[in-house]
Amino acid sequence: MSLGVDVQHIAELRSVLATYPTVELMDGPTPLHPLLHLGADLGIDLWLKRDDLTSLGLGGDKPRKLEYELAQAIQAGADVIVTSGSAQSNHARLTSAAARKLGLDVVLVLGNDEHAQLQGNLLTVHLMGGEVVMVDTDDHWDLDEEVDVVCTRLRAEGRNPHVVPISGTTPHSCLGYVDGALELVDQFTARDVVPDVIFTPFGTGGIFSAYLLAMRSVGIGAEIVGISVNRPAEECEENLDHWWGTLSGLLGTDPELGRGRYTIEDVYVGPDYGVATTECLDAIVSMARREGILLDPVYSGKVFAGLLGHAAAGRFEQGSTVVMLHSGGIPALFAYHAEIEAHLEQGDRHRSTG
Ligand SMILES: Cc1ncc(COP(=O)(O)O)c(C=O)c1O
């Protein structure tokens, strides 16, 4: 089977992307690696797109997004970037790194949650020395009021802040993942990979929406599976509608373009965002032990748990080609050492009694 991409549409999308300003934050392309051992275990052809290896501040998805979004900030004459997230926010780490690389100041408004130790991402945030405002809240997804207070103060001090919303998802930043999806399509072509299913995380839905739109725009019909890390599938659908609309506007693509086969799964969230479920910890352990690749307990571990869940439920045909986006997040592992230690000990007990 051939990939059947529409080369003309790829060129058109690339020429529209080139009309938007960017700043350089990473070297690309990130690798596309075959996972030979896990693929053999599962009876599929399994590939991992390594966006954990973007070359900024320990890697992850954000550099692709921020290359487009921070260009908007610079055009607006911003001298300080303000963003928000959880205590172990990967986005806070990578926004700090991006701001420092561009010679800008940064303020991080973070939820004071149970993983607020000076460890993992929060440690790196403090190392990069932006102002950190910790807020006691149950909902780090909505820190807009606190962000407003910070911006009012900064303006009163004569500064020009630029707010990047949680997860770095904005209409412009989604362009970075259209770019990232086209990079993956080039790798499919070069390596003769014809994907049947592509797995991505679904937080705000920026990555998922951009992947879906890019793949459909260039004629790739693979099922795209988004694994929610925080919200019910119906809310994810609303986010998809929103980002699909704003992206179509920026790219000039038909908003009625068929979305084809896609699935959004919310069963892998567990009790809440950031809770390392047993399936997630099992998935992290199997990726580490079978492939020597590290995943994290908040995003990529849940995506791989979703992929393993689909395999266990017989949802892949024998020999199908399955691709997973590894969006990074690995520094959070260190803040979850207690959960991981308990999980490993439990596994060892099972093994010694089994
Ligand atoms: C490692 C990682 N993957 C995925 C996401 C979620 O991406 P999106 O919000 O575009 O769905 C995040 C968000 O912070 C993240 O840190």
Convert the pLDDT of each residue in 170-185 to its tens digit: 999 999 999 999 999 9
Clarify whether residues 209 and 344 are in a common domain.
Answer: yes
pLDDT at 352: 60
Residue 275 domain-assigned (yes or no): yes
**What mean pLDDT is predicted for residues 148-161?**
98
Do 218 and 284 belong to one domain?
yes
Question: pLDDT digit string (tens) for 23-81?
Answer: 999 999 999 999 999 999 999 999 999 999 999 999 999 999 999 999 999 999 999 99
- Going by C-alpha positions, the residue among 302, 226, 312, 318 that lies closest to residue 268 is 302
Give pLDDT, residue 2.
82
**Residues 22 and 100 placed together within one structural domain of the fold:** no
* 29 cis-preceded (ω within 30 degrees of 0): yes
Residue 2 maps to a domain: no
Domain boundary among 137, 168, 199: 168
The verdict on residue 208 lying in a domain is yes
Q: Given the CA of residue 90, which atom of ligand 1 is nearest to it?
A: 16
Quote the percentage of the chain above a pLDDT of 90: 94
Please check whether residue 309 lies inside any domain of the structure: yes
Q: Are 298 and 273 in contact (CB under 8 A)?
A: yes
Q: pTM to 2 decimals?
A: 0.97
In sequence order, the β-bridge partners of residue 3 are none
63 Cβ below 6 A of ligand 1: no
- Given this model, what pLDDT does residue 344 score? 96
Distance of CA 55 to the CA centre of its chain: 15
Cα–Cα distances (Å) from 232 to 26, 75, 237, 238, in that order, read 33, 36, 9, 10
Asked whether residue 187 carries a pLDDT value surpassing 80, the answer given is: yes
In this prediction, residue 226 carries a pLDDT of: 98
Judgement on whether residues 193 and 95 belong to the same structural domain of the protein: no
pLDDT at 348 over 80: no
How far CA 7 is from CA of 59, 189, 248, 332, in Å, comes to 30, 11, 19, 39
Specify the CATH number for the domain of residue 123: 3.40.50.1100
| Domain enclosing residue 27, as ranges | 7-58+173-353
Q: Cα angle at 332 between 204 and 68, to 5 degrees?
A: 45
Q: Is residue 146 part of a domain?
A: yes
Can you give the pLDDT at residue 3?
87
pLDDT tens-digit readout, 99-146: 999 999 999 999 999 999 999 999 999 999 999 999 999 888 889 999
What backbone phi and psi angles, to 5 degrees, belong to 324?
-120, 135
Q: Is the CB of 180 under 6 A from ligand 1?
A: no
Q: What is the pLDDT of residue 140?
A: 82
Residues 34 and 101 in one domain: no
pLDDT score at 277: 98
Q: Is residue 68 part of a domain?
A: yes
Comparing C-alpha atoms, which of 219, 208, 312 is closest to residue 262? 208
Q: Are residues 188 and 306 in the same domain?
A: yes
Co-location of 115 and 32 in the same domain: no
**Same domain? 88 vs 221:** no
Residues of the chain with pLDDT > 70, as a percent, come to 98
Alpha-carbon distance values, 188 to 20, 49, 148, 181 (Å):
25, 11, 43, 10
Q: Is 1 a domain residue?
A: no
The average confidence (pLDDT) of the chain is: 96
Residues 222, 246 within the same domain: yes
DSSP 33-48: EE-HHHHHHHTSEEEE
Domain end: 124, 145, 168, which one?
168
Q: Is the CB of 90 under 6 A from ligand 1?
A: yes
Tell me how many domains the chain contains. 2
pLDDT at residue 354 greater than cutoff 60: no
Find the mean pLDDT for residues 229-254.
98
For ligand 1, atom 14, name the residue with the nearest CA: 167
The answer to whether residues 26 and 56 touch, using CB atoms and an 8 Å cutoff, is: yes
The answer to whether residue 258 sits within a structural domain is: yes
29-to-2, 69, 156, 176, 254 alpha-carbon distances in Å: 22, 19, 42, 13, 28
Residue type (1 letter), 165: P
Indicate which atom in ligand 1 lies nearest the CA of residue 201.
4
Task: Decide: 177 and 211 in contact? Cβ < 8 Å.
Answer: yes
Residues 27 and 93 in one domain: no
- Is the distance from the beta carbon of residue 328 to the nearest atom of ligand 1 less than 6 Å? yes
What is the rounded average pLDDT of the residues 15-24?
A: 98
Kindly state whether residues 80 and 155 are assigned to the same domain: yes
Query: What pLDDT score was predicted for residue 231?
Result: 96
Mean pLDDT across 231-247: 98
CA distance 29 to 308: 27
**Whether the predicted pLDDT of 347 surpasses 90:** no
